Structure 1
Amino acid sequence: MATLVLSAHAGEPVRIGSKNFTESVLLGEIAVGVGRAEGVEVEHRRQLGGTRILWRALQEGSIDAYPEYTGTLARELLRMPDADIDALEAALAERGLRMTGPLGFDNTYALGMRADRALELDIDRISALASHPGLVLGLSNEFMQREDGWPGLREAYGLPQSANGLDHDLAYRGLESGSVDVIDLYSTDAEIAHYNLVVLDDDRRYFPSYQAVYLYRADVDARAPQWSAALSALAGTIDAPSMRAMNAEVKLERRPEAAVAAAWLGQAAPVSRGRLSRIARRTLEHLGLVGVSLGMALVVALPLGVFAARRPKAGQVVLSLTGVLQTLPSLAVFVFMIPLFGIGAAPAIAALFLYSLLPIVRNTHAGLAGIPRDLRETAAAIGLPPRTRLWRVELPLAAGTILAGIKTAAVINVGTATLGALIGAGGYGQPILAGIRLDDIGLILEGAIPAALMALAVQGLFEVLERRVTPRGLRLAARS
Structure 2
Amino acid sequence: MSKASRSTRILAGAVALGALVTLGGCSTSDPTKAATETNSAGGANIVVGSFNFPESEILGNIYALALTDAGFNVSTKFNLGPRQTTIPALTDGSINLMPEYNGNLLFYYDTTATARTTDDVDNALKTAIPSDFQILNPSAAEDKDAYVVTQATADKYGLTSIGDLSKLEPFTLGANPQFGELPYGIPGLKDTYGVSQVTFTSIEDYGGPATVKALVDNAVQVADIYTTSPDLVTENLKVLDDPKHLIASQNVIPFLNKSIYSTQLADVLNAISAKLTTEQLIALRDQVEGSSKTQPETAAQDWLTKEGLLKN
Same fold at TM > 0.5:
yes
Distance across 1 between alignment mates of 2:108 and 2:55? 19
Query: Does 2:299 align with 1:260?
Result: yes
C-alpha contact 2:215 2:223 (8 A) present in aligned 1: yes
In 2, the alpha carbon distance for the partners of 1:153 and 1:25 equals 32
Q: 2:149 is matched by which residue type in structure 1?
A: M
Q: How does 1:69-468 map to 2 (within 5 A)?
A: 69-75=101-107, 77-78=109-110, 79-82=112-115, 83=120, 85-92=122-129, 94-119=130-155, 123-129=159-165, 132-139=169-176, 152-153=188-189, 155-157=191-193, 158-159=195-196, 160-164=198-202, 165-170=204-209, 171-221=211-261, 227=265, 230-252=268-290, 253-266=292-305
| Distance in 2, Cα, partners of 1:109 & 1:255 | 25
Partner letter of residue 298 of structure 2? A
- Distance of aligned partners of 1:173 and 1:29 in 2 relative to their CA distance in 1, 3 Å threshold: farther
3-state SS of paired residue (1:41)? strand
- TM-score using structure 1 length: 0.44
Name the CA distance, whole Å, in 2 between partners of 1:181 and 1:229: 44
Higher relative contact order (CA 8 A, sep 6+): 2
Which has more radius of gyration?
1
Change over 3 Å in CA distance of 1:12–1:125 after alignment to 2: closer
The alignment partner of 1:262 has SS state of helix
Q: CA deviation at 1:211?
A: 2.5
Letter in 2 for 1:66: M
More helix by share: 1
Q: Give the unaligned 5+ runs of structure 1.
A: 1-5, 268-480
Which residue in the other structure is 1:40 paired with?
73
Per the TM alignment, residue 147 of structure 1 is displaced from its structure 2 partner at its CA by 5.8
1:113 is paired with a residue whose SS is: strand
Q: CA deviation at 1:226?
A: 5.8
- Is 2:62 the counterpart of 1:30? yes
Unaligned ranges ≥5, structure 2: 1-37, 307-312
Q: Which residue of 1 aligns with 2:48?
A: 16
- Cα distance in 1 for partners of 2:206, 2:190 equals 20
Contact 1:75 1:147 in 2 (8 A): no
Partner of 2:11: none
Q: Distance in 1 between matches of 2:123 and 2:245?
A: 22
For the residues of structure 1 that align with 2:189 and 2:73, how far apart are their CA atoms?
43
- Between Structure 1 and Structure 2, the one with more strand by share is 2
Counterpart residue identity of residue 126, structure 2: E
Deviation at 1:96, TM superposition (A): 1.7
Q: Which amino acid aligns with 2:66?
A: V
Provide Cα deviations, 1:286-329, integer angstroms capped at 9, x if missing partner.
Answer: xxxxxxxxxxxxxxxxxxxxxxxxxxxxxxxxxxxxxxxxxxxx
Output the CA distance in 2 between the equivalents of 1:13 and 1:146: 40
CA distance in 1, matches of 2:109, 2:189: 18
The aligned length equals 253
DSSP 3-state at the match of 1:242? helix
TM-score, scaled to structure 2: 0.64
Q: Structure 2 vs 1, CA of residues 63 and 175 (structure 1 numbering), >3 Å: closer, same or farther?
A: farther
